[in-house]
A and B are shown apart, each in its own frame.
Chain A
Amino acid sequence: MSKELIRLSNCTMAFDGEVVLNNIELSINDKEFLTLLGPSGCGKTTTLRIIGGFQKPTVGDVFFDGVRINDVPPHKRSVNTVFQKYALFTHLDVFENIAFGLQMLKPAISKEEISSRVMEMLEIVSLKGFERREVSSLSGGQQQRVAIARALVLRPKVLLLDEPLGALDLRLRKDMQNELKRIQQTMDITFIYVTHDQEEALAMSDTVVVMDGGVIQQIGTPEDIYNEPKNAFVADFIGESNIVDGIMKRDGVVEIFGRSFKCLDGGFAPDEPVDVVIRPEDVDIVEVGEGMLTGTVTNITFKGMQYDIIVDFRGFKWLIQTTDLSPVGARIGIKIDPDGIHIMKKSHYSGMFGDYSSYSAEYDDIGDASIEAEEEPEDDL
């Protein structure tokens, strides 16, 4: 997993003067599962399309195995793509769809070999016996598998996947996540995966690239991204976060709401203003007298595994996840362990996220739905 396979070197992409990718530096290793994660319009699909050869960066270079490939058209790249809506050929059956790429090979390969490689792929994506079915007669999940098989049958070094699970329902999505991970390990190749779903990204990836506004916000392992977000955007986009203003008194001590908390971070200037991230699951509820802070419960949502409660601390509302029920209006104290506090430098995202004043029970659903309904704007271009 160490060798570099693809590199985007200060790539900038502009459509009609509007910059959708701003000076991207990205190195992708061989056999890595890398996810480009961000809200719609963040430039993740454009990045994928540059790697696939469907778009040329306005500025910057793309390297594949050390060779500059800016001007290599898609049909000459050893990269294959699983498109957002599968883009299966409706005039061909399952077998013919998967065989399409093999029939394009030069020099041509024998019919027997095409047939055996298609069958092999059908087995890998668990669609044995479906070869003569019409594409339109398949379910979403099955079409998805055909799209993957069609791309993988060419044995590409890299598979690009553009929100491949976006059209599937939740349960199928979870199954396909495992399936994709399994396929990636079986084929032993690089997957570059685009999604707006942070859960998906965390569950599948070796490396997550968080993007917003055409800029890479953070690159790291899922654990890094979750535990050590670099700024308020990443902290808010990945999981739930309470982000509050703090002042770094000295290494290991941060002041929030005028009280000092122990933390594990350091390396800031004395009295530097910072953003403090506290994950809802890292807050312990205790008796009022024993707490570091005292607040009032204003809202409770039962989520199955836990309660999501909103607690008002001096006008700032926190989300806390707890298995103990505290009724609305109750005064509670909270305790946070030093490793539950993460300190970030101030950025232009500071103050935009992390307050749960407008929280409602449907918050998550509404948020997700609006993202799914929107197309990436660059798709139209």
Chain B
Amino acid sequence: MKAYETVIGLEVHVELATKTKIFCGCSTAFGGAPNTHCCPVCTGMPGTLPVLNKKVVEFAMAAGLAMNCTITQKCKFDRKNYFYPDLPKAYQVSQLYLPICRNGGIEIEVNGVKKTIGIHEIHMEEDAGKLVHDPWEDVTLVDYNRCGVPLIEIVSEPDMRSADEVIAYLEKLKLILQYLGVSDCKMQEGSLRADINLSVREVGAPEFGTRTEMKNMNSFKAIARAVEGERKRQIELLEYGKKVVQETRRWDDNKDTSFAMRSKEDAQDYRYFPEPDLVPIEISDEWLSEIRGRQPELRDEKKKRYEKEYEIPSYDAAIITGSKRMADIFEATVAICHKPKEVSNWLMVETMRLMKEAEMDSEELNLSPEKLAALIGLLDAGTINRPVAKEVFEKVFKEDVDPKEYVEKNGLGMVQDEDLLVSTIERIIAENPQSVADYRSGKEKALGFLVGQTMKAMKGKANPGKVNEVLKERL
């Protein structure tokens, strides 16, 4: 078999986190009873006109700046015409001729190798509604709630060469968008969807091969499998002397294979032309620099800052900044208790463990910085010991309890009564002559057993350091 290279470009649709739709005042909230988030404008009633939501332009600009794009300061909308029941005007307002962002790129890292993936353009457009088939009545119904929700489409250059690069690119994109606050990027709710353009060619070939497109992929795992599956399919065709047909394919993740949907010949002519109902968008230098000034710290900068300012290990900084939510909780907690190492440890160990247990995504994390800081305070003041702290943390994580109240109510504070400690230890020594003898003959392990027995006798509320100290004295 010859050596082949895979060439991949992505078109990623992202629903923006504006409160209202792109051209009317309807809510963009996910869910809701069918056709309750719509009005004459977003359902395309005769005579209605769109009015652009300024926030959409600002979000698109923010995304473009974060992806090192040139902002098109005089841009406009175009109409993409096609018939489908989920598209009430029979055209989608989009941008073809003058997209708002062009010529950018973001850096990815795969197995320690850094690479820049070019961004061809980012354009603004409106989402369509949703068709719901009722098999019982054998009718198809339309829900226009999503209709007019603002989207940006991020079109990459064909710069990716493997599924790993595709996933790294998507992860990076998702983080940038979440850090900017322009989208929640919830793939399961369809707020981030990717179309994959893929071709293969012999290594060293000057031209790209014929590409296929797989539409609306909505999980990273499915995307990785689809890239791998389509790569193999195309190579197999070429190996058997056949040709790849330029077409749109549908990836069936259950069957682990893709199916042809429509060929290039069947491709629709969208009859694009400038949208006459909207005035061209003029982005002044002032507006642009205002948005530039408002750009938040993004992941790479934040990671570097954590290492330097908080002196936490690079690995930990990477994990914490790998989620906007986690980073927010980290910074808010540190701001209260000023113990970055301690906060990082709680996030890296206990939080990660409990999240894994609950199969929770880090963006769903709902941990109160105030309560985490309070817990760290109790530990620090010697009010509770570490094992108790872990127990309390689990309660904070799962039930959002107040650590101080919980410790008081359940009597979990460390016993400060030295006489009680001494008398307990004397009793333990008397009850365990064998262990005492072992220790005295040099078996260090026996001390651990005696400490454990003491802690148990004191219901876990003793100060472990103190127990050690007193035991050693008495032995």
Are A and B co-members of a single complex? Answer: no
